Homo-oligomer: A and B are copies of this chain.
Amino acid sequence: MNLRADPRGPNLHVGDDVTIGPGVEFGANVVVHDGCVIGAGTLVGDNAVLGKRPALGGSSTARRGSLPGLTVGQQCTISTGAIVFAGSSLADDVIVGDLAVVRERVTIGPNTVVGRGATVENDTSIGARVRIQAEAYVTAYCELEDDVFIAPCVVTTNDNFMGRTDKRRALMKGAVVRRGARIGGAAILLPGVEIGEDAFVGAGAIVLRDVPARTVVVGQPARVLREVPPEELLDA
């Protein structure tokens, strides 16, 4: 770790090959690791860590190999204590909440919010204007399209074998959440389910199967209840 104290912030530490745009503001005790590019006007809160490189366990299924630095767009907010890894790319106007974690090889589109304490695991792609609310858990290999809403404490999963057998490595699959779909508080998505466009998953639902576009599902396991009211569709 090649960190050096840097006068651009209070107790700021910065690594090698870091590019910091004009107007970037740092809270106290921020750490910016090797290779980070931070766009103009971005705010970085106290204790945030940017560009961390993963220390993978021996049994981790995450891909290995060298990673480019983290890229953060313009006018973003990386909040207090948040951790954003190397190899990821945040578009402009993204907010990463307090104590949220975004791992390596994640792409995040413009105007998206990753809420307080939320976790986005490696190799997940997230579109524009997505709202991932507080404490939600977005596992590795998920795909969240534009305008998706993930309520607080939602849980996604990607491994039906829970670490046993080697064939699981080929079968791991996160959720695919299509444009404008909404997932209710503390709902659980089983590995590989697809939530259709503008669908609505009720709070606490356990989703075992794909959910058709524009339908409301509720329950444990989740079943179709009705259609989403027209006035709640994204293009209404």
Contact = CB atoms under 8 A, between A and B. Distances in A.
Interface of A: 1, 3-5, 10-11, 13, 25-29, 31, 43, 45-47, 49, 52, 55, 57-59, 77, 79-81, 83, 95, 98-99, 101, 111, 113, 116-117, 119, 121, 131, 134-135, 137, 139, 149, 151-153, 155-157, 159, 161-165, 182-186, 188, 190, 200, 203-204, 206, 219-220, 231-232, 234, 236
Determine how many copies of this chain the complex contains. 3
B49 A77 contact: no
A119 B162 CA distance: 19
A232 B99 CA distance: 36
A210 to B, nearest CB: 16
Contact of A31 (B46, B57, B99, B164): B46
A186 B155 contact: yes
B206 A182 contact: no
Main secondary structure of the interface of A (DSSP, over half): loop
Given A5-B10, A43-B55, A162 B186 contact: no
